[in-house]
Structure 1
């Protein structure tokens, strides 16, 4: 992974204001502040984090970074011009150690650091937030629009490397680890590499031709930074658990004594999902395919309710399906009807209607314009109660 000169040369105080001017229109100050002020990174840099905390972060970072060449290869596959492919191949060659005169690859250096620090990622399963970060990065890199992958990798990874690696390097030095253990992180902070700037130039070319794609890039960069912050949150929250036991955050009968006597507000870093309908995620695309119409999933850290935005084109209908959670639907636009059990519910913009648990239902657009509606469900509540949320797509026999 690479560090743009304009970023890493000014990291003495690690504040968002120190990011070079070339990045100001692409990286949001509030997103960078989430990194520079994150309690985990602050604790690593000032020497107050324990060695177990450092090990836990390195294990989770390993789960994410082991797919780095997959991200790059997926992104390369979205370009059709030789110039762009050649520019990005330089990064891939360095990651894989090609034409590097026998030097270790970046992956080998990182694995050596893990061994010397005593980190075995196989004992630390990927936390859900780490898996989500990995999945989101790969989904963006696989997008047919290369701006997705460029923004995710450049703004959500390459450009912010110093903000993440500097605290790790400081912590390694604090615990007395030497050259071999710190080489990977020093290389990525100090070495004059321009891979991020190469990606930035490609992004700027896209934005020059279409300003809306530039705005899309900023949105995706913001999303990926916040997903990384969620991984840091999860690592920080897991520090009270024994190493090797952080994969499960659910409670069971033996935890009854942990029920508190008062509430403490736990405000997540990510409280907003910007431009929900502007970008389709891998989850959106998979769910839309199953539902046979376009759906956008609202991606927010709610534990009891979910929200989706559904679209029905003219004449379009969903497949028949049922689930054991309740649904409230509010119609934003259009006119249509829904079959709910043995009843037909007619609806229009401004109406709300209810789908009871396990009732077979399907929705139909009845007008000459697109229908748009919001669906709110309690599926996360059932999932968190023990994975008991169920949803079933039914055969065409139910659609007659």
Structure 2
């Protein structure tokens, strides 16, 4: 579908409307409108590492208030479509949002909620800004319109198509402040996927306007209106960040520091108690990071989701006669075997183990673990990867192509 869209784009359009925005949108979105969006002081501050962590959190809270209605927007829009094939096309978007695609049982809402948990954010205790509510009401009104073109334009031009322009600065800021995949997965996932959703909607919009080209102006105006509503929300967030008094600098565990912050070194220890101090039923919970990590490592792994910044804890599982892939990493590992027996190949050493044993894996040593028992092997792995990630993203892991006998 992407190739078709690019072939149908206007030949005399610029190579890009704005950085990161394909020219396939040239007939629907104006460069000046997109420019106002990407050049907004809030997004620019996030990109330039000039926004405070509190500003980023305020943006995420307001975005949560808006995005929690996303499936309602989509369902309202689908109810206005006359063509069953168009409904089925948008159903794919809904399936992804609801986490019912093949190989996935985690909804996008759950992934975003994990971002909020990692940042200790509870949107329900924060008021919806009037500008955010205006955007919510405008989007819903267009999606409920009997004229399906207006709902498509609102969702496509005012949301899905511009996701990369909004989410890239947020993703950059989260990484700058030292947050890992648990906090960033939602944004990286949507940057990768939402273009396809936008192109699906664009195909339907082209069909609806094929015999009435003048209706493209209607769609373009709706898209512009939603962009204006979003800019107004950004204005309110940015104004709030500029007018609120700055808190007394504290050495907070979730803050990313640089050389310029040397003056922040505290003269006393300060306790920071996150809102969440337990991860209930680790092996029974299903999380996007677990599934992705297990798929990449070719064996079952459960990641303990707690707000620790220097150590990580995972639960590894090997079926009978199963082995991990040969790999190495620049962080230390201590493994405690809960169940089963087997051996590990660590460098040129053969290390046998049974339930109750502990194993040490040195930095950058090639290693793999093999289950030789008659049932499943279960072990705990404690690593200092988060410490290296928070020191500047210097944690490395490499899967080895060769295997040891």
- Does the alignment reach a TM-score above 0.5? yes
Partner of 1:19: 21
Greater shift in the superposed pair: 148-157 or 112-121:
112-121
Partner of 1:134: 136
Displacement over 6 Å in runs of 4+: none
What is the CA distance between 1:193 and its match in structure 2? 5.3
Task: Say whether residues 1:98 and 2:100 are aligned partners.
Answer: yes
Q: How many Å separate the matches in 1 of 2:19 and 2:116? A: 32
Q: How many Å separate the matches in 2 of 1:188 and 1:214? A: 26
After superposition, what is the alpha-carbon deviation per residue over 1:261-303, rounded to whole angstroms, capped at 9, x for unaligned?
xxxxxxxxxxxxxxxxxxxxxxxxxxxxxxxxxxxxxxxxxxx
Contact 1:54–1:168 (8 Å) recurs in 2: yes
What is the CA distance between 1:182 and its match in structure 2? 0.4
Q: After TM superposition, list the pairs within 5 Å mapping 1:291-306 onto structure 2.
A: none
Partner of 2:84: 82
Partner of 1:205: 207
TM-score normalised to structure 1 length: 0.56
Gaps of 5+ in 1: 7-13, 244-400
Q: How many Å separate the matches in 2 of 1:192 and 1:141? A: 18
Contact 2:17–2:23 (8 Å) recurs in 1: no
After superposition, what is the alpha-carbon deviation per residue over 1:47-85, rounded to whole angstroms, capped at 9, x for unaligned?
010000000000000000000000000000001221111
Gaps of 5+ in 2: 7-15, 247-405
Contact 2:57–2:121 (8 Å) recurs in 1: yes
- Equivalent of 2:30 in 28, 38, 44: 28
Q: How many Å separate the matches in 2 of 1:61 and 1:22? A: 27
Task: Say whether residues 1:196 and 2:195 are aligned partners.
Answer: no
Partner of 1:173: 175
After superposition, what is the alpha-carbon deviation per residue over 1:190-234, rounded to whole angstroms, capped at 9, x for unaligned?
348511100001111112121121110000000100110000001
What is the CA distance between 1:5 and its match in structure 2? 9.7
Contact 2:149–2:219 (8 Å) recurs in 1: yes
Task: Say whether residues 1:241 and 2:244 are aligned partners.
Answer: yes
Which structure is higher in RCO with an 8 Å CA cutoff and minimum separation 6?
Answer: 1
Q: How many Å separate the matches in 1 of 2:18 and 2:98? A: 31
Contact 2:161–2:194 (8 Å) recurs in 1: no
What is the CA distance between 1:139 and its match in structure 2? 0.1
Q: How many Å separate the matches in 2 of 1:136 and 1:192? A: 21
Corresponding pairs, count: 233
Q: How many Å separate the matches in 2 of 1:48 and 1:235? A: 15
Contact 1:206–1:214 (8 Å) recurs in 2: no
Distance 1:170-1:15 versus aligned 2 partners, 3 A rule: farther
Contact 1:94–1:100 (8 Å) recurs in 2: no
- Equivalent of 1:220 in 219, 222, 227: 222
Q: After TM superposition, list the pairs within 5 Å mapping 1:1-400 onto structure 2.
A: 16=18, 18-191=20-193, 194-239=196-241, 240-241=243-244
- Match of 2:62, SS state, is helix
Cα RMSD between the aligned structures?
2.0
Contact 2:47–2:169 (8 Å) recurs in 1: yes
Distance 1:190-1:84 versus aligned 2 partners, 3 A rule: closer
What is the CA distance between 1:152 and its match in structure 2? 0.3
Q: How many Å separate the matches in 2 of 1:117 and 1:182? A: 11
TM-score normalised to structure 2 length: 0.55
Distance 1:182-1:111 versus aligned 2 partners, 3 A rule: same
Partner of 1:328: none
